[in-house]
Amino acid sequence: MIMSIPKIFRSQKVIPICSIILCILFIIAIFAPWIAPHDPIAVNLAYKLQPPSWAYPLGTDHLGRCNLSRILYGTRLSLGFAMLIFISSILIGLLVGTFSGYKGGIVDHVLMRFCDGVMAFPSLILILGLVGIFGPGLTQVIIALMLVQWVYYARMFRGMVLSLKEQNFIAAAKISGSSQWKIIKNHIVPNVLPPLVVMGTLEMGWAIMDISAMSFLGLGVQPPTPEWGAMIHEGKSYIRTNPELMLYPGLIIMLVIVTFNLLGEALSEQYGVKRRF
Amino acid sequence: MSLIQVNEVTHSYGSRSFFNWKDRSKKVLSDISFSIEEGACLGLLGSSGAGKSTLGKLILGLERPQNGQILFQGHDIYTADKHTRQKIRRDIQAVFQDSYSSVNPRITAERIIAEPLENYEKLTAAEQKRTIVELLERVGLSEGDLKKYPHQFSGGQLQRINIARAISIKPKFIVLDESVSSLDMVNQKLILELLNELKEDFGLSYLFITHDIKAAYTISDSLGVLEKGELVELYDSKNQFFTSEHPIVKEMRGSILAEHPRFRSIRTRVSRVSHT
């Protein structure tokens, strides 16, 4: 019997289904050079705008490049840099937030007011500013996103540390003679990690969307590098004759982000973690 | 020389913030002085918010009193040199009220008890394990509990683990901050008995902080009454508590729940049922 779609989303199957999809995507990202049938940047004007065929399963674009290969290689870029943003912002956030919350007092005040300042600054303006200074490029976008994202993690970790600090086991550890770093390492960090998984999945979705959006605007990834947002950007001139040039990357972006968000939702429900957005 | 001597300790909690430097601090302890002899137990009675736990924190070295000094074997625990301070910290241990929040939920009983041992005793892995098993057995648990996580224990069992952790490095003094208050009656009695035994075996001294007059009476040698941050009464003998004419003490005495009438009424009810 076929389950209705809302029922699938409510059932316990969301987590395994999303995990499998993401695993496949990660495998594609790692093995893209072996899976892709063609070189994603090889221009062949004789074969431009081909319909799907055995040689080109998703057809070719306006420069005769294989659409499927470009999408497969694009996975690499999107997932890879989303991971980079996620891991670096989590690490900075964990460090700053834990330290700030644990130390308290004036250190906490200074760090948190700095975070408030960064939060009040729109990330889009920061990206546009960096692009304006250094020219368009993925590095600028990634640095800008990292600079903005870690603040939210720092806030979250600080809050968790503050509530942990009131727990008696921290006092007990102090009385047991443990040093500050030992307490942070053994008692605080292990207790703030579980919500991280939930935040992480949601964050990945956001990061992928941001990278794609910036590339679509022509500020991020530059041609001819295959990237989903950039592919939509290049395909938009052919929307009347060949809408599939925008459709394929659009669909894959949607698939990835929906998967990450559904997984994040399901995990947060499972572990009872509150979302920050 | 007393083991612990508290001299005119005053403490307040401030609410100074980044934008508000005006001092709006609230006094929680004023001019507290008492001393505890080696091998003795002082019961500190007081209602909620009387400053009992704050006093415990000050003695444990978790917070520094604003005025006054706390001497351990004649050394000020805050101004002594580093070496002495470390020694003092080792000699003063604690058992808190909430046994669940006193242990890290993510580590096993073995690692909970191992923490002070790792910090103070440099034992080999086998020695450490043997010590921990001995401690577990001493507090009435077994070797099979080594690998269990806190959520697999009951409140009373966890409190035993907390006690094992406190006695693991053979301290001289233990602050029992409401240590039996969150337990049921049977466990309260068992834990109090255990504490009494340990006191004899290890030559420990206790500061027993509680609002439970009966528990304090059971375990203490002397009693103190704390009210709104002031030590209103201090008795060398716990029986003086029952003859004191201080209004607060009288009120406390009046609040002891009478056991007999109720038991009697239950008993009569039972007998009436059995007769009919």
pLDDT in tens, B155-210: 888 988 999 999 898 898 999 988 888 788 888 888 888 888 888 888 889 999 98
Q: Cβ contacts (< 8 Å) between A190 and chain B: which residues? A: 104, 106-107
ipTM value, please give it.
0.80
The mean pLDDT value for B113-140 works out to 89
Interface of A with B (CB under 8 A): 106, 109, 113, 167-169, 171-178, 186-187, 190-191
Q: Identify the burial level of B133 via C-beta atoms within 10 angstroms of its C-beta, where 0-12 means exposed, 13-18 middle and 19 or more buried.
A: middle
β-bridge mates for residue B32, sequence order: B9
pLDDT band at A7 (very low <50, low <70, confident <90, very high): low
What pLDDT is stored for residue A277 in this prediction? 38
Q: Is B256 on the interface with A (CB under 8 A)?
A: no
Q: Which CATH class is domain A77-243?
A: mainly alpha
Q: Is B15's Cβ below 8 Å from some Cβ in A? A: no
The confidence score (pLDDT) of residue B48 equals 80
Give the pLDDT of residue B257: 65
Q: State whether residue B12 is helix, strand or coil.
A: strand
B102 touching chain A per CB within 8 A: yes
pLDDT band at A252 (very low <50, low <70, confident <90, very high): very high
Q: pLDDT band at residue A272, thresholds of 50, 70 and 90?
A: low
Please name every residue paired with A60 in a beta bridge, in sequence order, or none if there are none: A66
Q: What is the pLDDT of residues A137-156, one digit of tens each?
A: 888 888 888 888 889 889 88
Q: Count CB pairs under 8 A between chains A and B.
A: 58
Strands B222-227 and B230-235: antiparallel
Q: What is the mean pLDDT of residues A169-178?
A: 87
- Comparing CB atoms, the residue among B97, B102, B116 nearest residue A177 is B116
* Range with top average pLDDT, A195-204, B12-21, B265-274: A195-204
**Chain B contact probe: residue of A168, A170, A187, A188 with most B CBs at under 10 A:** A168
To the nearest whole angstrom, how far is the Cα of B258 from the nearest Cα of chain A? 33
Chain B CB contacts of A178 under 8 Å are 115, 119
Query: Please, are residues A69 and A40 in contact by the beta-carbon 8 Å criterion?
Result: yes
Each residue's pLDDT tens digit, A56-88: 888 888 888 888 889 998 898 888 888 898 889
State the pLDDT at residue A6: 60
| Torsions phi, psi for A174 (to 5 deg) | -60, -45
Across all residues in chain B, what is the average pLDDT? 83
Residues of A in Cβ contact (< 8 Å) with B103: 169, 172
**Each residue's pLDDT tens digit, B31-74:** 888 888 888 899 888 888 788 888 888 888 888 888 888 888 88
Pick the residue from chain B with its C-alpha nearest to A169.
Answer: B102
Contact B104 A169 (CB under 8 A): yes
Least confident interval from A198-212, A259-273, B97-111: A259-273
Structural domains in chain B plus CATH codes: 4-106+170-270 (3.40.50.300)
Q: Which pLDDT belongs to residue A27? A: 92
pLDDT in tens, B226-255: 888 888 888 888 777 777 778 888 888 777
Exposure letters A154-163 (e unless 16+ CB within 10 A, then b): bbbbbebbee
Q: What is the pTM of this model?
A: 0.72
User: What pLDDT does B52 receive?
Assistant: 84
The pLDDT assigned to A222 comes to 82
Pick from A4-13, A131-140, B139-148, B176-185: least confident: A4-13
- Distance between CA atoms of B83 and B64, rounded to whole angstroms? 18
